[in-house]
Structure 1
Amino acid sequence: MPDRPAYLRIADTLREGIRDGSLPQGTRLPTMAELCAAHGVSEIVVRQAVALLRGEGLVETRRGGGTVVRVVPPARRVAMERYRGVSRPMAVPETTFTRDQRIGWEDYRLDREFTRVRADDDLGALFELPTGTELLRRRFVFYARGEPQQISVNFLPWDLVGDTPVSDPAREPWPGGTLAQLAYLGHPPTRVEESVRSRMPTPEEAETLRMTRGVPVLAITRRLLSGAGIMEVCRDIVLPADRVILDYSIDL
């Protein structure tokens, strides 16, 4: 068997150092000249090795700061139980997001964009409504302590929310979030359905969430039901996959 290409062997060495902690997060990698001398290769070979690690989301190159081991914040655990009780009156304002992030209301920020749209075939099927049904589209970017953590695009039937405070972006953030809004409208959610898939982020998502190349996202499609009625469809909730662990439990 031929030897592995030099750039793969260099990448293996650096990757092992990152994983065993000898190259801790935030540590600057050896310079290009040092890596060339240590491995007896050209600068082109070292650049290939570093590009491979960058594509895996292990390192990032900073302008004027060299290449460093990427700092990955501890992943937060998100469980289905986060939906319980949020729609009820609360002494301190919170949402499922602030619960997940364990932050207070003062550390919570929400960018929002509201538009009136018509359901395409996919949304019509999710709502079990005819294609072309009028919907309120709401795009949110969620921030914790000033850092963007999540994008959510949700839809609500216009005949449910039109001309109500729920369709007013100035009322956001709303304590209790969408669950509390549906309860306010007289349709408290009784069931949550989520479908999770993994994919690479779009360029716009990666820029908004300040993501490093090579990191996928979790895209969650959610439906909120009140009785037999489908009150909300979220397509999608977008989360950087290295920042969250989804916990699911089923009582048997």
Structure 2
Amino acid sequence: MPDRPAYLRIADTLRDQIRAGTYPQGSRLPTMTELCASHGVSEIVVRQAIALLRGEGLIETRRGGGTIVKVSPPARRVAMDRYRAVTRPLAVPATTFTHDQRIGWSDYRLDRRYTRTNADAELASLFELPTGVELLRRRFVFFARGEPQQISVNYLPWDVVGDTPVADPEREPWPGGTLAQLEYLGHPPTRVEEAVRSRMPTPEEADTLHISSGVPVLAITRRMISLARVMEVCREIVIPADRVVLDYSIDL
């Protein structure tokens, strides 16, 4: 077998050193000149190695600051029982997001945009309703301590929410979130379903959530069901994959 290309070997070495702590998070990698000299290669080869590691989300290049090992905060562990946590009587305002982030109400901010729309074929299937049925579309950007952490686009049947406080964006954030809103409307959720997939973020998502190059997102499609009726479809909840661990448990 031929030798691996030089840029791959250099990337392997730097990756191992980052993971071993030789270059800890926030530290600066050797300069381009130093890497060329230590590995005996041209600048083009080193640039290829650096581009590969940047694409993996391990490093970032700052103008005038060199190449830095990316600082990744510890991933939050998110369990399905968080939905139960906010349906119990609450001493202080909270939502599933504030519960996940372990933040108080004053550290929580929610940017929102509301529109009326009609269900496409996929939404109609998720709602188990005819195509074209009228829906309220709500796009949220969730902030914790001033930093954007999550995007959510959810839909509610207009015949249920129209002309109610739930359709008023000025009422957000609503303590208890969508769970509490559906209970207010007389349709308390009795079941929550989630389907999770991974993908690369769109340019708009990467810009909104400050996602580093090479980092994928978790895209979660959610349905909230009250008895036999689907009351909410979230298409999708978008979270940077390096910021969360989804925990699932099954009682047998």
Q: Same fold (TM over 0.5)?
A: yes
- 1:62, 1:161 → 2: CA distance? 47
Give matches, 1:52-131, under 5 Å. Answer: 52-131=52-131
Contact 1:87 1:183 in 2 (8 A): no
The CA deviation at 1:65 is 1.0
- 1:223, 1:2 → 2: CA distance? 52
1:228 and 2:224 correspond: no
Match of 1:204, SS state, is helix
The CA deviation at 1:87 is 3.4
- 1:67, 1:223 → 2: CA distance? 43
Give matches, 1:76-225, under 5 Å. Answer: 76-225=76-225
Match of 1:124, SS state, is helix
1:32 and 2:32 correspond: yes
Match of 2:81, SS state, is helix
Which amino acid in the other structure matches residue 32 of structure 2?
M
Which amino acid in the other structure matches residue 96 of structure 1?
T
Match of 1:84, SS state, is helix
- 1:86, 1:115 → 2: CA distance? 27
The CA deviation at 1:103 is 0.3
- Could you list the runs of 5+ residues in structure 2 that have no partner in the other structure? none
Could you list the per-position Cα deviations for residues 66-118 of structure 1 after superposition, in whole angstroms to 9, with x for gaps in the alignment? 11001111000000000004234422000000000000001001010000000
Structure 1 residue runs of 4 or more that deviate by more than 4 Å after TM superposition: none
- 1:251, 1:77 → 2: CA distance? 19
The Cα RMSD (Å) is 0.8
The CA deviation at 1:4 is 1.3
- 2:166, 2:138 → 1: CA distance? 10
CA shift in 2, pair 1:161/1:231, >3 Å: same
Contact 1:15 1:53 in 2 (8 A): yes
CA shift in 2, pair 1:164/1:18, >3 Å: same
Which amino acid in the other structure matches residue 227 of structure 2?
G
- Could you list the runs of 5+ residues in structure 1 that have no partner in the other structure? none
How does the TM-score come out when normalised to structure 2? 0.99
- 2:95, 2:63 → 1: CA distance? 37
- 1:225, 1:88 → 2: CA distance? 18
Could you list the per-position Cα deviations for residues 105-157 of structure 1 after superposition, in whole angstroms to 9, with x for gaps in the alignment? 01001010000000000000000000000000000000111111100000000
The CA deviation at 1:62 is 1.1
Which amino acid in the other structure matches residue 20 of structure 1?
A
- 2:126, 2:159 → 1: CA distance? 17
Aligned residues: 252
How does the TM-score come out when normalised to structure 1? 0.99
- 2:23, 2:150 → 1: CA distance? 29
Could you list the per-position Cα deviations for residues 156-200 of structure 1 after superposition, in whole angstroms to 9, with x for gaps in the alignment? 000000000000000000000000000001111110000000111
Alignment correspondent of 1:240? 240
- 2:210, 2:227 → 1: CA distance? 39
- 1:23, 1:251 → 2: CA distance? 42
The percent of aligned pairs where both chains have the same amino acid is 81
